Amino acid sequence: MTSSDYTAQVSEEQTIKSMDSMYRWTRHVYDLSRKYYLLGRDQMIDNLNVKEGERICEVGCGTARNLIKIATKYPNDVYYGLDASEEMLKTAQTNLEQAQMKDKILLKQAFSQSFNPQSLFDLKEPLDKIIFSYALSIIPPWPESLDHALELLPSGGQIHIVDFGSQSELPKFFRKFLFWWLKKFHVYYKPEILSYLKRMDMEKKGALEVHTLYKGYAYRAIFTKT
């Protein structure tokens, strides 16, 4: 199943209602359950290569699990995150308090295709790196989100992505089951994301680097803006 099977234009208000409805209860067990199948997130974090003073933002930050790990690994900076779901951000704020990182990580409700980091986080300089960790597979306007992220970045800025792959080297029954299970949470494997990134590379908008993980279960991509 690809995004062409379900893409629909929805309002931001509808998006908030849908996301909050989906995560109102599952947010409490999200990290416990997702660690078994959102694979490759730590590899992405290990390859961020954050330099002191860089401004890093995760789009679709969820429970802030990734941002807490990033701030632990690279403790000399302040990090930023946004999510469409107010319900999910409640859990994220609780996690920041427990990790004693309320001053290290700033979170806001916003949308991937339209957020303004300068006004949202009171930044004076542009973001250096933008992260999509298993976010594009659930975001309907993913092309607009990628275009917007690229527009926000300066030359040399990077988009880091980890998401579901084709499962091409895994048993067919596993692939069928996984895609069926993901669909229940409005998550879809979108091969067209990589095609879009490759086209951006061909159009000289930047340089694409792709790594296949776990026999095609997931992939990790870095797009560096020219």
According to DSSP, the β-strands at 56-59 and 79-83 are: parallel
- The pLDDT assigned to 34 comes to 54
Sign of CA dihedral 176, 182, 183, 184: positive
| H helix runs in 122-190, sequence order | 142-152, 172-183
**Are the beta carbons of 150 and 54 closer than 8 angstroms?**
no
B/e letters for 7-36, b = 16+ CB within 10 Å, e = fewer, are eeeeeeeebbeebbebbeeebeebeeebee
Cα separation, 26 vs 49, in Å, equals 32
* E strand intervals along 18-172: 56-59, 79-83, 105-109, 129-133, 158-164
Which DSSP helix (H) or strand (E) runs through 56? Answer: strand 56-59
User: What pLDDT digit, counting tens, does each position of 51-104 carry?
Assistant: 999 999 999 999 999 999 999 999 999 999 999 988 889 999 999 999 999 999
Residues (pLDDT < 70) of the chain are 1-37, 185
C-alpha angle 125-130-135 in degrees, rounded to nearest 5: 145
- The pLDDT assigned to 151 comes to 98
Which DSSP helix (H) or strand (E) runs through 35? Answer: none
Q: Is 3-225 assigned to CATH 3.30.930.10?
A: no
Tokens linked to 22:
């989906």
Instruction: List the beta bridge partners of residue 79.
Output: 56, 105
State the CB neighbour count (10 A cutoff) for residue 105. 23
Cα separation, 27 vs 167, in Å, equals 26
- The pLDDT assigned to 36 comes to 46
According to DSSP, the β-strands at 206-213 and 129-133 are: unpaired
**Are the beta carbons of 187 and 137 closer than 8 angstroms?**
yes
pTM: 0.84
Sorted by sequence, the CB contacts under 8 Å of residue 86 that are 6+ apart come out as 16, 20, 109
Rg for the chain (alpha carbons), in Å?
Answer: 17
Task: Report which residue type is found at 136.
Answer: L
